[in-house]
Structure 1
Amino acid sequence: MAGDTRQRMTEAAALSLRRRGLAATSFTDVLAASGAARGAIYHHFPGGKDDLAEQAVAWTGRRVRAEFASIGGDDPDAVLRSFIALISPVVAKAAGGTSCAVAAVTVEASPAQSALNAAADTAFRSWIDVLAARLRHVGVPPSQASATAQVMVAFLEGSLVLARAAGTVALFEQSASVLLRALTGSLD
């Protein structure tokens, strides 16, 4: 049961990071959203808010990595199209005000919050690694697969920021079609 409380708190923190960012995420909000008792905070997260945020970033990183691992396609173009289809609803949510918990921590954590920065770096690298592996699986050379995977993650994160700022997915739709045209055929 204690593991359930910790998990509920971690997931509530991840959602708060997506909606409010690191600075505005509070224990009060996390406790209310998770249904946890106030005493659970330092029992499950002895390092306080940074510990909670670090766990939320790690959980988000694993969840997104698993989604990326499920991307289908028998050739590079199909993998890119599957990636765009997978992230499209996430970008739509960003247009409505939510974003990425990992990016929120990346932008707001100070250099002194090295554990938070390391957790974000680990998450991003795991996404790049799984996307690069997927591209290699469909025949993209390793050096090109890694660079393309980096572009894919940068495209996702940039699209989230632009959609949230504009309140629309229009820029995502335009840039997705340009990205597909630019990369189509270049990965063979």
Structure 2
Amino acid sequence: MAADTKSRMISAAIGLLQRHGLAAMSFTDVLAESGAARGAIYHHFPGGKQELALEAARRNAEDVRGHLHELPARTPREVVEAFLGNVRPVVQASAGGGGCAVAAVTVDGGAAMADQSSLRAVAAEGFAGWVGELTGKLTHAGMSPAQAADLATLMIVTLEGAHILCRAAGSIAPFDSAAAALLAALPSSG
């Protein structure tokens, strides 16, 4: 039961980070969304908000990596098309005010978080894992490791940039433009 409560709190924190960012994420909101009792906060997260944010970002990064692991990898084009198709609904949510929970721990912690470096480290590790997963897929699909790493990085930069541009525009149009450019940049044999 305790593990379930902690898991619900982390899930709630992920959603709050996506919708409101780190600075606006409060324990009151986490408790309301998770149904946890107030006493669960420091029982499960003795390090407070920072510990909860770290665990939420870490879990979200692992979840995304798991989804990337499931992408098909017969050709580079197939990898990119599957990636774009899978992330489009997530970016669509950004157009309505959502975002990336992993990125959220890097952009708006401000003075509220005592140790910004640990938040950045978790995000960097998460993004590196995503790039690594995509690099492996693209290499398996026939690209050289260097080309695959560059393309994988571009894919993640496209995703993360789309979160911001689509949120600002209130539209998925920036993502659609970037996705078309990404596909057009693929070698014709990919």
Place the TM-score, normalised by the shorter chain, in its bin: over 0.9
- How many angstroms apart in 2 are the aligned matches of 1:150 and 1:185? 20
Aligned residue type for 1:148: L
The letter for the 2-side match of 1:107 is V
Q: 2:181 aligns with which of 166, 178, 181?
A: 178
Residue 26 of structure 1: aligned partner:
26
What SS does the corresponding residue of 1:38 show, helix, strand or coil? coil
Contact kept, 8 Å, 2:73 with 2:137, in 1: the verdict is no
Q: Which amino acid in 2 is paired with 1:30? A: V
- 2:82 equivalent in structure 1: 82
Describe how 1:130-141 pairs up with structure 2 within 5 A: 130-141=133-144
CA distance in 1, matches of 2:179, 2:81: 9
Instruction: Give identity over the alignment, percent.
Output: 49
Separation in structure 1 between the aligned mates of residue 188 and residue 136 of structure 2, nearest angstrom: 18
Query: Partner of 1:49 in structure 2?
Result: 49
Checking the alignment, whether the CA contact within 8 Å between 1:73 and 1:82 is kept in structure 2 is no
The residue aligned with 2:120 is 117
* 8 Å contact from structure 1 (residues 109, 117) kept in 2: no
What amino acid does structure 2 have at the position aligned with 1:51?
E
Partner AA of 2:181 in structure 1:
V
Aligned-residue offset at 1:73? 3.9
Q: Select which of 148, 152, 158 maps to 2:155.
A: 152
Cα displacement (A) at 1:112: 3.7
Q: Deviations over 1:152-179 (max 9, x none)?
A: 1000000111111111011211221111
Q: 1:167 aligns with which of 163, 167, 170?
A: 170
Which residue identity does 2:12 align to in structure 1? A
Q: Which amino acid aligns with 1:126?
A: G
Structure 2: any 5+ residue segments left out of the alignment? none
TM-score (norm 2): 0.94
User: How many aligned residue pairs are there?
Assistant: 187
**What is the CA-CA distance between 1:33 and the residue it aligns to?**
0.2
Q: CA RMSD in A?
A: 1.3
Per the normalisation by structure 1, the TM-score is 0.95
Letter in 2 for 1:89: P
Q: CA deviation at 1:147?
A: 1.2
**Which residue of 2 is the match for residue 40 of structure 1?**
40
Q: After superposition, what is the alpha-carbon deviation per residue over 1:6-62, rounded to whole angstroms, capped at 9, x for unaligned? A: 000001001000011000000000000000000000000010000000000001000
Structure 1 distance, partners of 2:73, 2:149, is: 17
Q: Amino acid of the residue matched to residue 27 of structure 2?
A: F
Q: Which amino acid aligns with 2:4?
A: D
Partner-residue secondary structure (3-state), 1:183: coil
Q: Deviations over 1:69-94 (max 9, x none)?
A: 11114111111111111111111111
Give matches, 1:101-116, under 5 Å: 101-109=101-109, 112-116=115-119
Q: Unaligned stretches of 5+ in structure 1? A: none
**Separation of aligned partners in 2, 1:129 and 1:10:** 25
